[in-house]
Amino acid sequence: MTASETAKKKYMEPVIHFLQKRIMVGPDETGARMIVSEFVGAGYCLAGFPDFDKYAKRGFEKGLLQAGPHTVFSEDGNALLACRAGYPKIETFAGKDQTVTVISIEPLVQISPDAMEAWLCAYPPVPGLTPLADQDLAQHLADAGVVCGVDRDAVQEMQDVVRTPFGDCVKRLVATGLPPGESIDASIRFEIEIGPLAGRLLDNGTIDFRERRIMVGVSAGQHIATKIPAVSGPPGMNVLGEEVLAAEGRDIAVKVSNDAAFSKDDLRVTATKAGVLSVVNNATIKVCSRQHIAGDIDFKTGNVESGNCLTIRGSVQPGFKVAAGGDLEINGGVMSATVSTQANVVVREGVTGKKSCIEAQGDVDIRFIEQGTIESGGIVVVRTQSYYSRVTAALDIRCQNGSKVVGGSLIAGRNMTLADVGSANCETTLLAAGVDAKRLLVHKELQDGIVQQQDEIIRWLQLYGGSARSKKIRKMEEEVASAKLKLLQLNLIPETGLYSRGGGDDSSDQGEETGAIGKVRIDVHGTIYPGTRIRIGNRTLVVDKLLSKRQFRLQKNLKSIIAVAL
C-alpha cells in the first residue's frame, strides 16, 4: 500500500431514516411519476451517524451531511432532526472529495414570508406507511403557531381530501391575516377660498378647465391654511397572532416664504402682512405684494424682475425677460421672450417663437404654444394647441377638449390627458409620461454619444487601416460597451436611482416593482395619428395606425405599453 493510499481519509456515509418512493401522480396512468417521501413529524430523526464513536476509533470521519431548511442537528451532531412536520427532501452535490448530502423539510404547514397567509400542503401517501389521514390538521396548524384568521371550513375540506385516495400534491390556503388599515398622508387645508386648480381632475374622471383663481388677497394676521398631520391606520394581525403596524402616513414639509409664517405649535399658516397669496404645488405658501404693469413689457419698461406677485396687462415683447417671486399673470401673450416665476404662471393668450421659454416652480396655464418651451415644477394646462414645442411638467400635463398637439414633445412626471395628437403630415410627436424630463435628455446624450463613438471607430479604421484587434480599437470598443451598459441602466422614472435598472430590457426597474409606474396613464380623448412615439417610464411604443379614444398604460407585468379603449 502506497503512502498516499494510507493517508486517504475514510468517511462514514449518513444513514437515512425515512422512506421515499417514486409513484404515479395525476388523474390517470398517463400522469407523470414523482418521488414522494413519507410524512414525518417535528423531532423526527431524518438521518445520522449511529454508533459513530466506534467508527471514529477506526479512523473514520463523518460524511458531508448538511442541514437544509427546517432541519437541525442534535447536540452531539450525530443526528439530523426535523424542526417542522412535513416531507423530507434529499439533494446531493459533488464535493471536492465526496458527495454532499443536504436534507430539508417541505412543511405540511407553509407560512408566507410576511406571515399574512398560511397553506396546508399534502403529498400522496407512500404505500404501506401511515397516511396523513391519521393526522389532525387543525392541531398541526396550532403547533406551527397559526392562530389568527384560520378558515375552519378550508381546514375541514383539506382533512376530507387526505382521508380519501388522492394522487397529486394538494395545496390549500387555510389562514389569512388581518392587514393593517390604510394610513392617511399629511395634507394642507386652506382656510380661504383659493379656487380650483385649472385642469383639476374631478371624481368622475373628467377634467375641470375653469379659470384658475390667482392673486388672492389676504390681510395681515389672516389664517391662511392648517397642516393636517398624517394619521397611521389601525394595526393588523398576521396568522401567527403578531401585531402588524400600518405603514406610516407620508408627512409633508410646509414651506412658507415672504410674508407668510408657519407655527409648529398650532400648525397654522398666517399672513404677517397684507398681500397676495401664491400657492406652489400645494406645499409652498407665499404672501407677496402685488405689482401691476399696465401695458406691454417692451423698451418702455425694460426687463422686469420682481420678488412679488406680478400682473402684466399686455404682452411680453420679443427679446425681453420677466421674473417674478410670486404668481405671474400675463393678460396678453409671450413672443420670443423669457418668463420665469417661483410660483405659478397664467398666460391668457399664446406663447410663440422658438426663443420663447416659460419656467415655473409651480403650475403653468396657457392658451397655446407654438415652437416654444415650457418647464414646470407642477402641472401644465394647454387649452387649445401645442405646435412643435417642448412642454415638460414634474406632475401632469392636461390638454382641454378640442385641443391639438402637433409635433414636438410633451413630457410629464405623472399622467397626461390629451385631445387630438399629430396629423397626417407632421413630424413625429413624442408623448412621455412617468418620465423625468432631465433624465430623458441624458438618455438622448448617451444615445448620440454611442453613435459618435461607433462612427469614430469606423473613421479610425478607414484612415489608418488599423486592425480591429489593435489596442486603440479595443479601447474604443470598451468605451462603447461601457456607454451601452450605462444606457441600459439609466432609469427614467422620477424618484428612482439614476442608474438603478438591472442592465437589460427584461430586468426589473426600481419604481416599477412597487407598481407606481403601473398607475401612469396617457389618455387620448380625440384622435392619435400613426408615427406618434409613446413612452411610459422605460418602455416605448410607436403608434402604427390611426386610433381614437385610447388610454395608453403598461401591462400588468410592466414590460410593454398597451392601448385600451376609453
Within-domain flag for 498: no
Q: Is residue 296 part of a domain?
A: yes
Burial classification of residue 509, based on how many CB atoms lie within 10 Å of its CB (0-12 exposed, 13-18 middle, 19 or more buried): buried
CATH number of the structural domain spanning residue 11: 2.40.50
Co-location of 408 and 551 in the same domain: yes
Confidence (pLDDT) at 563: 93
DSSP string, 54-121: HHHHTTEEE--EEE-TTEEE-TTSSEEEESSSEEEEEEEEE-SSSEEEEEEEEESEEE-TTSSEEEEE
Q: Is 375 a residue whose pLDDT tops 50?
A: yes
Domain that holds residue 128: 109-176
Q: How confident is the model at residue 202 (pLDDT cuts 50, 70, 90)?
A: low
* Domains: count for the chain: 5
pLDDT of residue 30: 52
Whole-prediction pTM value?
A: 0.71
Question: Which three three-digit cell numbers place residue 100?
Answer: 454532499
Question: 213: closest CA among 382, 344, 323?
Answer: 344
> Given this model, what pLDDT does residue 181 score?
93
Nearest to 337 by CA among 309, 378, 296: 296
Asked if 101 and 227 sit in the same domain, the reply is no
pLDDT of residue 501: 85
Predicted local distance difference test score (pLDDT) of residue 358: 97
**Using one digit for the tens of pLDDT, what is the confidence trace for 145-155?**
999 999 999 99
pLDDT at 213 over 90: no
CB 530 within 8 A of CB 494: no
The answer to whether the CB of 256 falls within 8 A of the CB of 264 is: no
> For position 303, what pLDDT does the model report?
94
User: Does 234 reside within a domain?
Assistant: yes
Q: What is the mean pLDDT of residues 83-91?
A: 91
Confidence band of 201 (pLDDT split at 50, 70, 90): low
In a domain, 500, yes or no: no
Same-domain pairing of 238 and 196: yes
Whether residues 410 and 518 fall in one domain: yes
Q: Are residues 405 and 376 in the same domain?
A: yes
- Same domain for 517 and 459: no
What distance lies between CA 494 and its chain's CA centroid?
9
Residue 507 within any structural domain of the chain: no
Look at residue 318 and tell me whether its pLDDT is greater than 80.
yes
Say how far residue 6 (Cα) sits from the centre of its chain.
62
Which pLDDT does position 282 carry in this prediction? 78
Q: 301-305: long-range contacts at Cβ-Cβ below 8 A with a sequence spacing of 24 or more?
A: none
Q: Is residue 215 part of a domain?
A: yes
**Is the pLDDT reported for residue 269 higher than 90?**
yes
Write down the mean pLDDT value for the chain. Answer: 87
pLDDT at 164: 80
Q: In the chain, pLDDT over 70 holds for what percent of residues?
A: 89
Residue 499 lies in a domain: no
Q: Give the number of C-alpha atoms closer than 13 A to the C-alpha of residue 357, restricted to the C-beta side.
A: 9
- H or E element: which one contains 387? strand 380-387
Q: What is the CA radius of gyration of the chain?
A: 35
Grid cell for residue 480: 462603447
Burial of 438 (0-12, 13-18, 19+ CB in 10 A): middle
Q: Give a yes or no: residue 504 inside a domain.
A: no
Q: Do 298 and 198 fall within a single domain?
A: no
Q: pLDDT band at 55, cuts 50/70/90?
A: confident
Mean pLDDT lowest among 13-22, 442-451, 527-536? 13-22
pLDDT in tens, 383-437: 999 999 999 999 999 998 899 999 999 999 999 999 999 988 888 899 999 999 9
Chain-centre distance for alpha carbon 379: 21
Among candidate residues 285, 307, 342, the one where a domain is terminated: 285
Query: What CA–CA distance (Å, rounded) separates 74 from 72?
Result: 7
Q: 67 Cβ partners below 8 Å, 6+ apart?
A: 73, 80, 102, 103, 104
Q: What is the mean pLDDT of residues 303-312?
A: 92
What's the average model confidence in pLDDT over 184-195? 86
What integer pLDDT is reported at residue 425 of this predicted model?
A: 84
Structure letter (DSSP) for residue 407? S
- 407 and 529 assigned to the same domain: yes
Q: Are 344 and 327 in contact (CB under 8 A)?
A: yes
Write down which residue in 153, 176, 199 finishes a domain.
Answer: 176
* Predicted confidence band of residue 7 (pLDDT cuts 50, 70, 90): very low
Which of 69, 84, 107 is a domain's end point?
107
| pLDDT above 70: residue 195 | no
Judgement on whether residues 260 and 340 belong to the same structural domain of the protein: no
417 and 269 part of one domain = no
Q: If you average pLDDT over residues 359-375, what whole number do you get? A: 95
For range 543-547, the mean pLDDT: 93
Is the domain of 306 the same as that of 419? yes
* pLDDT of 347 above 50: yes
432 and 444 belong to one structural domain = no
